[in-house]
Structure 1
Amino acid sequence: MKNKEIKVTTSQVANIGIDPETVYSIDEGLKSLNEQQKSIVHSVIFGGQNVFFTGPAGTGKSKVLNSIIRLNKMAKRPKNIVVSATTGIAACAVGGVTVHSFAGVGVGSEHVSKLQKKVMSNEYAKQRWKKCEVLIIDEISMMEGAFLNKLDVIARHVRSTTKPFGGIQLVMCGDFFQLPPVKAVSFAFEAPCWCNLVDKSILLTKVYRQNSDPKLVKILNEARVGALSDDSFQALVEHMKNPPTHNPQAQPLNPPSLLSSPPPSPAPVCFTKLECRNVDVDAANGTQLAKLTSKPQSWHAEDFLKVDFMANLLKHCPAPKELILKEGAQVMLLKNIDSERELVNGSRGVVLEFVHWTEGRKEDPDLTLPKGWPRVLPRVQFTSMNSDEPGETVVITPKRWENMEGDILNSSRLQLPLRLAWSLSVHKSQGMTIPNLEVSLKGVFEFGQAYVALSRATCMKGLIINNLDRNGFRAHPTVKKFYEILEKSDEAEGAKKAEEKENRQLAVSSTAPKNPLIPPKPQAPLHKPSPQGLTEEQRKKIEENKAKALLLRKRKQM
């Protein structure tokens, strides 16, 4: 798994219209990227490479995707980027479409020849393929290997070229240690086309979500690979015996007037409980909401559909079609509003009161309400991400979720970015940060499921664990082997860069003026590694690559 070198020409920089040396220091959004994240963005935007990047939960994968999209828009001649994901939930989270919808293949279970005919007979699908210059696929870990191979064949056929994926630049992101494809026969990285599609693989390592709790980071790193140590397991057992204070239900508030001042004190934020089934989630939230004695308020989402069949995509939108709240309701924020104020996707809070909608103009000066909406908005008291201390008190205004296909808007939903948060499904929690989290590990059945559930937490103080089962922390053996190769590749590339840096420093020092009073230091000669220095595994990998290359050559000759 060798990464190709980036060659950025002067003409490329002129076409992009951005100086790669300074862009990361002048833009606030890009300035906060670490070196690994910058390497991904640089490889995609300036290198034009097909990139796969991965990493544990909370390493900023979504942030990197947003930075790629942001930097492309800043370019002199932006490329036509299509943002897609393997599931409807993930597609809504990144503001794109499902990769199945983009491809025009439906479920995609038929033979590739039938899928090719389906796409070629659909003028809209055919044009999507031809106009696309860059295809982003989020949650690639949930794509079956055979389906990726079908897409490669379709892309080359529709675009009339033998280039990998029809010449479309690919950006694939996901963590194969998390939830796998449903009824998967193989992973995406096992597809025959994978090695031809990926120019560069980057493993993100710096965890941001739990950066205030090194103990939890250690436990999650072990849980992710299915190798929970005795110390880590015992730490979870002790934590389960002595859980954080758990407020089982937010207490009802006395109904204030619409413009009461000061607002009432909020009830403590409850812990969001992760459930495996949606029916249990809805039942739990409905039961808790019914216990509140205050008057309910409801908001119906304003939906836009380019065509009727896009309605299915909006079913996966995190914002509900109808939102019903009461004062005292436990809620979760569904959009990143202001990260500096800790108003991000997953932030927890309690509804204090309902205020006249014009109060929301303090947050959004251009605020208008959709026709038919009540003339009130909820004021929410949020909790600090890493403590139980009160956070921001904010009037929540409507936000829009868009499903784009390049520059074309296919569907959208305008709704308050809130949902009831007494309970949530594990599946819908993937990608979220939940500061106050209760996890039940009873009945864990899938690889990576326990890790996904625990990794939503930000610290041990905000985590309650029920039904702890050590056998539930499992990682797929094929995935483990893949990441072992990926890590060795990263280490080899790091060593190569270090050697190149040292050689540059030696070259500079050799051309620098010499002080005749100081004798030169003897330098050891630089040697290239010999074939005898290769490990058995490296030799085996080289032979496998030779065999694959020979097979590909024979296929082309047939």
Structure 2
Amino acid sequence: MDTDDASLTCSLKLEWTNSQGIINRKLQSKNATLRLMRDESRVIYVEIRYDKASPIKLPLKRLSVHKNFMKEGRASIKFQEFGCTAFMTNAPPSQLIGFLRTMFVKMTGNAPKNEKATSLRTQLLSNKPQQFEEISPVTKGELCRVQKHVMGKSTTTPSPIRKRKLSDSSSDSRPSSAKRLYTSSSTIQDTPLDIQQKEVLETCLSGRNVFFTGSAGTGKSYLLRKIIGSLPADVTVATASTGVAACHIGGITLHQFAGIGLGTASINACVDMAMKSASSLIWKKCKHLIIDEVSMIEADYFQKVEYVARKIRKSDKPFGGIQLILCGDFFQLPPVRKWNDKDKKKINFCFMSQAWKKCIQDTFELKKVHRQEEQDFIDILNEVRIGKVSIESEKVLAATASQCIEKDGILATRLCSHTQDADLINEGKLKDLPGDIRIFEALDSNPASSKMLDNQTTVPRRLELKIGAQVMLLKNINVSKGLVNGARGVVKEFKNELPLVKFRNQLYLAQPERWSLKTSTGVVARKQVPLRLAWAFSIHKSQGLTLDCVEMSLNRVFEAGQAYVALSRAQSLKTLRVLDFKTSQVWANPDVINFYSKLRIQRDCSNLVPLGIKNKNTKTNNKNLLKGKSKSLMSKPLLNIL
């Protein structure tokens, strides 16, 4: 637990009401700081600092905490004893969740038995002014005590309409949704960021325009969610090039946000379109724009979006002064081609645009792979990524064709280059199974949004199952037990009208879960059993997944990077089967290779510190050094460059 979890910066409104509920005092600040403090009597307080006013200290006793919208950076604390309510908005979601969890842990854990609170008589007789100190970080001992305290009670989640109460630390009662607060926030802390990821996060929080990249499995999406959670919610817009990627980070598609449709109109027409749409208000309010899977955005579209930002915000700064945080791997799937273009072979990546060159200030490449642990497999994937497979790697991949990777009746998921092929395989396999079909219909918050939910999530509107059906889990249910997004299982029976699924290490009764999708006009949601038929899956929709049992035939791949995306879904060589592997199925786009080579050269040169006295030949020497550096790097195998 970080010490930062004991403080919170956000917009704040304080309201004091009398016994009749009439507001008789109000304070408001756009930039307030809340800190958890403890006095010499071990009573916990919230210290509130705002503007240049004297700090306000309120003891944490008899509280009501409303935290339904924590993930949107909003919550409220009602201090019942003082008739005061603190409304917190525009808070970084992860900071808000951490703050509330620390408050809960400190109050629920209580002081150790050998430490007694100072008696009231001693406090009254003391002439010393009241002393406060910052609360100490949460310890493992406190976490263990709270976990036992929370997990020992009912796990029933109360109605979201009801207010959750957080009681005095001396009381045995606690908030009815304590378990949800404890578990939801603790998952954020489960996997700490590595050194490279921390550097990216710190740079993003400093306000710089950042592009960070990395091979598959280096934790790009995980880091992106951390960044989103660390920025003020009301002025941060999280987008992605595809609906599936947007759903993964809890955002919307860039096309929905930009307000220019597909961007096929002229640049001036795009500005008019955005000005008249609901997006114009969000454009003006936005301070941090995040774009995931940026590799699938075409240069022309990126250029138009940047121009629209400047015009709507009436600013000549790049992107109208908005901080830009981009994430993606250009070695993976490229932008969708416009087949009516005259030059069908040419792909214009967004890094080729003038907007990219004037906007991006810092570039990072994550190196540590988290998805795979076998170094041999990681080395092979690095070769496939740049389209240059050695003879040894070719033999290893070809040898997987004879592997038996099935276990406990769970078959391998077949990755297909075309979505239609995957659908036909799933439909045929289900039809061949004996028994009756059980149908599970999704419940959508708005029926008019059903088609959009179909396209932008992997959750099916209509799920047909039989006993023996091969399925994939579509949500993280219990990470420690292996019930994670992408886990493979088989339906064993139907219990209480719900599918009971056998995964490799766990039986799971699949109950309906909720998916939400942000749009430019609000939030739409779908409730459905978190399963999908998994005899086959398309490579495109597998992006972001980690598959524990997968096979593929790469004969029909049609894009650079498609084979790499498919192979990098596997956790290890032992759980992978590649049919009829050939090196001709693997290639990388030359423009992407050149782009990453230049990034490497720039990074290496930026790390050089010139020593000695400057002279008139310094500039010439630096040019020669750069030329020499470029030549020496390009003469090496491409794998060593990247």
Q: Give TM class, smaller chain.
A: 0.7 to 0.9
1:33 aligns with 2:193: yes
Please name the residue that 2:229 is paired with. Answer: 70
Residue type of the alignment partner of 1:453: A
Please name the residue that 2:361 is paired with. Answer: 199
Residues 37-64 of structure 1 deviation map (CA, whole Å, 9 limit, x = unaligned)? 111222222x022211110001111101
TM-score (norm 2): 0.65
Residues 90-122 of structure 1 deviation map (CA, whole Å, 9 limit, x = unaligned)? 223322221111111111111111111111222
How does 1:209-224 map onto structure 2 within 5 Å?
209-211=371-373, 213-224=374-385
1:457 aligns with 2:570: yes
Task: For residue 302 of structure 1, report the CA deviation from its aligned partner.
Answer: 1.1
1:422 aligns with 2:535: yes
* Secondary structure of the structure 2 residue equivalent to 1:486: helix
8 A Cα contact 2:405 2:574, kept in partner:
no
Residues 356-390 of structure 1 deviation map (CA, whole Å, 9 limit, x = unaligned)? 3xxxxxxxxxxxxxxxxxxx22222212xxxxxxx
* Secondary structure of the structure 2 residue equivalent to 1:318: coil
Instruction: Give, in whole Å, the separation in 1 of the partners of 2:203 and 2:502.
Output: 41
TM-aligned CA distance change 1:119 to 1:288, over 3 Å? same
Match of 1:48 among 196, 203, 207: 207
TM-aligned CA distance change 1:231 to 1:539, over 3 Å? closer
1:319 aligns with 2:459: yes
Task: For residue 316 of structure 1, report the CA deviation from its aligned partner.
Answer: 2.7
Instruction: Give, in whole Å, the separation in 2 of the partners of 1:469 and 1:269.
Output: 27
1:182 aligns with 2:336: yes
1:289 aligns with 2:289: no
Task: For residue 526 of structure 1, report the CA deviation from its aligned partner.
Answer: 7.0
Task: For residue 128 of structure 1, report the CA deviation from its aligned partner.
Answer: 1.9
8 A Cα contact 1:83 1:405, kept in partner:
no
TM-aligned CA distance change 1:234 to 1:16, over 3 Å? farther
Match of 1:397 among 501, 511, 530: 511
Please name the residue that 2:117 is paired with. Answer: none
Task: For residue 405 of structure 1, report the CA deviation from its aligned partner.
Answer: 4.9
Please name the residue that 2:253 is paired with. Answer: 98
8 A Cα contact 1:92 1:318, kept in partner:
no
TM-aligned CA distance change 1:355 to 1:482, over 3 Å? same
8 A Cα contact 2:298 2:350, kept in partner:
yes
1:225 aligns with 2:313: no
Match of 1:377 among 490, 495, 498: 498
Instruction: Give, in whole Å, the separation in 1 of the partners of 2:470 and 2:499.
Output: 12
Instruction: Give, in whole Å, the separation in 1 of the partners of 2:462 and 2:449.
Output: 20
Residue type of the alignment partner of 1:377: L
How does 1:123-134 map onto structure 2 within 5 Å?
124-134=278-288
TM-aligned CA distance change 1:290 to 1:494, over 3 Å? farther
* Secondary structure of the structure 1 residue equivalent to 2:493: strand
| Stretch of structure 1 that moved more, 486-495 or 97-106 | 486-495
1:234 aligns with 2:388: no
8 A Cα contact 2:444 2:450, kept in partner:
no
Residues 297-341 of structure 1 deviation map (CA, whole Å, 9 limit, x = unaligned)? 221111123x94684354332000011112221111111223222
Please name the residue that 1:485 is paired with. Answer: 598
* Secondary structure of the structure 2 residue equivalent to 1:294: coil
* Secondary structure of the structure 1 residue equivalent to 2:551: strand
Instruction: Give, in whole Å, the separation in 2 of the partners of 1:330 and 1:102.
Output: 37
Instruction: Give, in whole Å, the separation in 2 of the partners of 1:492 and 1:348.
Output: 46
Instruction: Give, in whole Å, the separation in 2 of the partners of 1:537 and 1:166.
Output: 36
Please name the residue that 2:314 is paired with. Answer: 160
Instruction: Give, in whole Å, the separation in 1 of the partners of 2:512 and 2:349.
Output: 39
TM-aligned CA distance change 1:131 to 1:63, over 3 Å? same
User: Looking at both structures, which has the greater relative contact order when contacts are Cα pairs under 8 Å and sequence separation is at least 6?
Assistant: 1
Instruction: Give, in whole Å, the separation in 2 of the partners of 1:451 and 1:403.
Output: 28
* Secondary structure of the structure 1 residue equivalent to 2:445: strand
Please name the residue that 1:253 is paired with. Answer: none
8 A Cα contact 1:96 1:402, kept in partner:
no
Residue type of the alignment partner of 1:392: Q
- The percentage of aligned residue pairs carrying the same residue is 38
Task: For residue 204 of structure 1, report the CA deviation from its aligned partner.
Answer: 0.5
Instruction: Give, in whole Å, the separation in 2 of the partners of 1:431 and 1:416.
Output: 20
Larger strand percent: 2
* Secondary structure of the structure 1 residue equivalent to 2:315: coil
* Secondary structure of the structure 2 residue equivalent to 1:135: strand
TM-aligned CA distance change 1:479 to 1:111, over 3 Å? same
Task: For residue 15 of structure 1, report the CA deviation from its aligned partner.
Answer: 5.2
Task: For residue 493 of structure 1, report the CA deviation from its aligned partner.
Answer: 5.3
8 A Cα contact 2:398 2:579, kept in partner:
no
Match of 2:268 among 93, 101, 113: 113
Residue type of the alignment partner of 2:287: E
Larger Rg: 2
Residues 108-152 of structure 1 deviation map (CA, whole Å, 9 limit, x = unaligned)? 111111111111222x12112112222211110000011111001
Match of 1:344 among 475, 484, 492: 484
Instruction: Give, in whole Å, the separation in 1 of the partners of 2:351 and 2:375.
Output: 31
Please name the residue that 1:365 is paired with. Answer: none
8 A Cα contact 1:83 1:404, kept in partner:
no
Instruction: Give, in whole Å, the separation in 2 of the partners of 1:537 and 1:114.
Output: 47
Task: For residue 492 of structure 1, report the CA deviation from its aligned partner.
Answer: 4.6
TM-aligned CA distance change 1:342 to 1:52, over 3 Å? same
Residue type of the alignment partner of 2:319: F
Instruction: Give, in whole Å, the separation in 1 of the partners of 2:481 and 2:602.
Output: 39
Please name the residue that 2:124 is paired with. Answer: none
* Secondary structure of the structure 2 residue equivalent to 1:538: helix
Task: For residue 290 of structure 1, report the CA deviation from its aligned partner.
Answer: 2.0
* Secondary structure of the structure 1 residue equivalent to 2:471: strand
Instruction: Give, in whole Å, the separation in 2 of the partners of 1:296 and 1:208.
Output: 39
Instruction: Give, in whole Å, the separation in 1 of the partners of 2:528 and 2:613.
Output: 63
Please name the residue that 2:301 is paired with. Answer: 147
